[in-house]
Structure 1
Amino acid sequence: MTAPEDRPYDVVISGASIAGCAAAVLLARRGVRVALLERRSDPAAYKVLCTHYLQPCAYPVLDRLGLVPALEKAGAVHNEARWYTRWGWIEPKAAPGEPRLPYAYNVRRSTLDPLIRAHAADTPGVDLLLGHNVTGLLREGGRVAGVKVNGPDGEREIRARLVIGADGKDSAVAKLAELPTRTHENQRFSYFAHFRNLPLKDGITHSWFLEPDVAYAMPNDDGVTIVAVIPDKKRLPAFREDLEGSFMQFVRDLPAAPDIDAAERITKITGTVNYPLQSRKPVGQGVALIGDAAVTGDPLWGVGCGWALESAQWLADAVGPAATGRGDLDGALLAYAKRHRRKLGGHQHLAADYATARPFNPFERLMFSAAARDDAMARHMHMFASRLIGPLRFLNPIALAKASAVNLRYRGAPAHLSHRAS
């Protein structure tokens, strides 16, 4: 970590978590001088409220960052998954003779955050400044030109061509820049806890779609499994009366439930009762947002970490040359905003609609039921759930026709008999 200097940077990034560290590394490799600010002083600090799930869409970014070997060494778990529905289990498997399905990792943030932060700090061109909190934005000629920070040595200003907000859903940078925000209420709440010695079939992630309630159990590094319950808010008053008892009973009542009573709970039950979805305009004059600062997704889908990495890469690719003064920065920011909207807008729209705690709509019933009965449809579902394809490709006419044909073939058959065709 380089000592702070009163010299201009090309880029200032607020937030040294997943998105901020990824952006810092990718930008510095392009010759950009980066001040990476983190309000917390502990280099091992990590986010607690998280699904600890890196979607397969994030694997190419992890590989590009050079983090895959370190994650494997740390014991991160390849995130294969199976999903319960009223039609039976959806269990995506590679086609015979084909390579395994795309994957990334289940890894606790207590492992991931210090790892990626150290990687950023060791990257030439990155100054990691711990204990620095952004308190204001500098402006010149109507555009953002740096930040005011409060750090260990008091107040200071850091000037840069571009300020990046990687400071989460309550982004100070976004608020100070007055970037427009759309908010969608989430009609579910969530609680989770960490367990040891919780056996799961095939040792892979389990998700339960109970319409409208949801739950999941995800094996992570060091033999720890994260169990989360995400019920309709109508159940919240009863949950609050006896949180531990309600949590445990919810898990016990799951179809083919894991034996949670035989496992050892190693953390308290933590959660949130109000976690709205937010979509902000990701750019302004001299400012850009990545990760949760730009789009805060529904925790139910576990997209936050993957989108943090992807958005960091999209921004670095767009603004790399311009951030050093060799190009049109405003044009580069608009290109990033367009890509961000194209890649994530459809996913966020569907998630916001499902966050109303409604049951499956007709398209979802068609696709989920077919995926529980047919291996090819299960693979198609996996590609969408992994955010490797968007809603339009997921619901393309060919896929809808195949799903209809699958369901017609097994009309009236019990789910356990209809599952699985190839």
Structure 2
Amino acid sequence: MTRPESTGHDYDVVIAGASLAGSAAATLLARRGVRVALLERRSDPEAYKVLCTHSITANAYPVLDELGLVPAIEKAGAVRNDARWYTRWGWIEPRPAPGGPELPYAYNIRRSTLDPLIRSRAAETPGVDLLLGHKVTGLVQEAGRTVGVRASTPQGEREIRARLVVGADGKDSAVAKAAGVPTRQYENARFAYLAHFRNLPLRDGIIHTWFLEPDMAYAFPNDDGVTVLTVVPDKKRLPAFREDLEGSFSAFVRALPEAPPIDSAERITKIIGMVDHPLHTRRPTASGIALIGDAALTGDPLWGVGCGWALESAQWLTEAVASAATGQGDLDRALARYGRVHRRRLLGHQYLAADFATSRPFNPMERLMFSAAARDASLARHMHRFSQRLIGPLRFLNPVAVAKASAVNIKHREPAAPPAG
């Protein structure tokens, strides 16, 4: 076990949760000289998250690169997450500009492949102690400040002290609850069911998303020839949907424009559901505490952004607190810096997602941008950057883009010129 040099702390940082956010943070912090205890409540090092879109947006590619995981992910069969989106105006199909660079991308990869991979990378990093079977049961506090955690372990109760406690333990974060961090919750008026299929071809072998207003669906090709197929209807349809789950799921897919051939495909998992999945937003810091990944912000699954934001928030935290976590700076100021970055980068996206989660049809601005993107290649590329969370809402809806979309739609409505003569 790694021994600390400082007095009064077993580690510099203790992280609850060894999934994407926690394992990434542990690896990045330890590389900067931070001594990390990485706690995972499950005892199986191969454990993984089941309910997930299994997609990493391009905003997180730099984190994968810094972790050194890109070659391993590609070797494992990850699929680049190029996409096309169906709308009532037709398909939006982003393509690189002629002679221009390829579109930014990351990967679709099942969590059964990704989670053990990133967890083992953390465990192999000098300075990280991966402690499996350690479930956080409470916090250690002194003078109103969190200075560690209490955990149940296979050997009994244990207290682990650290300068910083990081909650990377998901939307139902035990760290956040024990610290009394308030949660803002937004109702999600859609439900979702998903299943994994083999031999389910998709045009160009890329992601398909259907905006059916208000219903949604998406198909994500993944590693090992597996496609994750998800339907996301309005909750008004839930009672009827549940009466015949398999029949309702198949009928929904068959009715999609350019529907994947579900009847000739092999379903290799059960149909599993997210019947009630509200969006959660928490303040990402408290005294001696930081929250990352879903513990800080849980988005709407239909956008497939959770994995990317988990990795990004781990990187933001590392950049803000690594020095202070070793006693070389003011930890409270470092945490405040992390909190500002997290809010600036994510709250605008979350506001739009929470509004769309009311299961409404497109609003006027969305109609403008989506219809124009279906008609114009440069606006399709602009939408691609937004969907990959490389730009925020303000840049997506900047005056130049809105003016371009308006001009595209006006031109589309103009009658054709009469033939010469």
Please indicate the TM-score interval, normalised by the length of the shorter structure: over 0.9
The 8 Å contact of residues 4 and 129 in structure 1, kept in 2 or not, is answered as: no
Change (3 A) 1:412 1:197: farther
Q: Give the alignment partner of residue 70 of structure 2, picking from 54, 68, 71.
A: 68
1:132-151 residue pairs with structure 2 within 5 A?
132-151=134-153
- Counterpart-to-counterpart distance in 1, 2:45 and 2:55: 21
Name structure 1 gaps, 5 residues minimum.
Answer: 415-422
- Specify the alignment match of 2:118 in structure 1: 116
SS in 2 for 1:410: helix
- Specify the alignment match of 2:330 in structure 1: 328
Cα distance, 1:8 vs. partner? Answer: 1.1
- Specify the alignment match of 1:419 in structure 2: none
Q: Give the alignment partner of residue 189 of structure 1, picking from 172, 188, 191.
A: 191
Cα distance, 1:337 vs. partner? Answer: 0.4
- Counterpart-to-counterpart distance in 2, 1:144 and 1:118: 28
- Counterpart-to-counterpart distance in 1, 2:354 and 2:404: 27
Cα distance, 1:141 vs. partner? Answer: 1.4
User: If the length of structure 2 is used for normalisation, what is the TM-score?
Assistant: 0.97
> Residue type matched to 1:260 in 2?
I
The 8 Å contact of residues 82 and 105 in structure 2, kept in 1 or not, is answered as: yes
- Specify the alignment match of 1:370 in structure 2: 372
> Is 1:200 equivalent to 2:202 in the alignment?
yes
- Specify the alignment match of 1:242 in structure 2: 244
Measured against aligned partners, the alpha-carbon deviations of 1:73-112 in whole angstroms (never above 9, x if no partner) come to 0000000000000000000011011111000000000000
- Specify the alignment match of 1:220 in structure 2: 222
- Counterpart-to-counterpart distance in 1, 2:306 and 2:273: 16
> Residue type matched to 1:225 in 2?
T
> Is 1:106 equivalent to 2:99 in the alignment?
no
Measured against aligned partners, the alpha-carbon deviations of 1:132-174 in whole angstroms (never above 9, x if no partner) come to 0000100111100000000011001000000000000000000
> Is 1:406 equivalent to 2:408 in the alignment?
yes
> Is 1:350 equivalent to 2:352 in the alignment?
yes
> Residue type matched to 1:105 in 2?
Y
The 8 Å contact of residues 300 and 357 in structure 2, kept in 1 or not, is answered as: yes
- Counterpart-to-counterpart distance in 1, 2:106 and 2:263: 29
SS in 1 for 2:413: coil
> Residue type matched to 2:183 in 1?
T
Cα distance, 1:413 vs. partner? Answer: 8.3
> Residue type matched to 1:346 in 2?
G
Task: Calculate the aligned-residue CA RMSD, in Å.
Answer: 1.4
Change (3 A) 1:413 1:254: farther
> Residue type matched to 1:172 in 2?
A
- Counterpart-to-counterpart distance in 2, 1:413 and 1:112: 52
1:290-305 residue pairs with structure 2 within 5 A?
290-305=292-307
> Residue type matched to 2:391 in 1?
I
- Counterpart-to-counterpart distance in 2, 1:90 and 1:136: 48
Q: Give the alignment partner of residue 25 of structure 2, picking from 8, 23, 26.
A: 23
- Specify the alignment match of 1:232 in structure 2: 234
SS in 2 for 1:349: helix
- Counterpart-to-counterpart distance in 2, 1:386 and 1:359: 22
- Specify the alignment match of 1:279 in structure 2: 281
The 8 Å contact of residues 32 and 324 in structure 1, kept in 2 or not, is answered as: yes
- Counterpart-to-counterpart distance in 2, 1:413 and 1:86: 21
> Is 1:397 equivalent to 2:399 in the alignment?
yes
Q: Give the alignment partner of residue 261 of structure 2, picking from 259, 262, 267.
A: 259
- Specify the alignment match of 1:78 in structure 2: 80
Change (3 A) 1:204 1:223: same
Q: Which moved more, 1:51-60 or 1:4-13?
A: 4-13
SS in 2 for 1:70: helix
- Counterpart-to-counterpart distance in 2, 1:195 and 1:413: 45
- Counterpart-to-counterpart distance in 2, 1:413 and 1:171: 57
SS in 1 for 2:149: strand
The 8 Å contact of residues 188 and 354 in structure 2, kept in 1 or not, is answered as: yes
The 8 Å contact of residues 367 and 403 in structure 1, kept in 2 or not, is answered as: yes
SS in 1 for 2:213: coil
Extract structure 1 runs of 4+ deviating beyond 6 A: 3-7
- Specify the alignment match of 1:417 in structure 2: none
Cα distance, 1:128 vs. partner? Answer: 0.1
> Residue type matched to 2:204 in 1?
D
The 8 Å contact of residues 4 and 127 in structure 1, kept in 2 or not, is answered as: no
SS in 2 for 1:49: coil
Name structure 2 gaps, 5 residues minimum.
Answer: 417-421
Cα distance, 1:412 vs. partner? Answer: 7.0
The 8 Å contact of residues 8 and 159 in structure 1, kept in 2 or not, is answered as: yes
- Specify the alignment match of 1:56 in structure 2: 58
- Counterpart-to-counterpart distance in 1, 2:40 and 2:246: 34
> Is 1:93 equivalent to 2:102 in the alignment?
no
- Counterpart-to-counterpart distance in 2, 1:412 and 1:241: 48
SS in 2 for 1:255: coil
> Residue type matched to 1:410 in 2?
H
- Counterpart-to-counterpart distance in 2, 1:197 and 1:412: 44
